[in-house]
Amino acid sequence: MKIQIDQDRCVGCGRCTEMCASVFKLNEEGKAVVIKEKITECENEPQGEECAIVSEAVKKAADECIVEAIDIDMEIK
């Protein structure tokens, strides 16, 4: 899975960073950036149950991004 964020679309709401802090963070401009672009399925997240499986948390964040700025490519391993 490869994850990308469209910086022009992101409004910096922080939802994705709340849902999966090991993959998303807000930069100094208040836009979300990906700190881990490629993850494998079922990779365990060390902190907390909400991110128990990182790939599921990333998919949920992409679904819930209000401006659809998060792009996931499942073909890339």
Give the footprint of ligand SF4 on this chain (CB under 6 A).
5, 10-16, 32, 65-67, 69-70
Nearer to ligand SF4, 17 or 45 (CB): 17
**42 torsion bin: left (phi>0), alpha (psi -120 to 50), beta (else):** left
**68 torsion bin: left (phi>0), alpha (psi -120 to 50), beta (else):** left
Smallest distance from the beta carbon of 48 to ligand SF4, in angstroms?
18
Smallest distance from the beta carbon of 71 to ligand SF4, in angstroms?
10
Burial of 39 (0-12, 13-18, 19+ CB in 10 A): buried
Nearer to ligand SF4, 53 or 62 (CB): 62
Smallest distance from the beta carbon of 6 to ligand SF4, in angstroms?
8
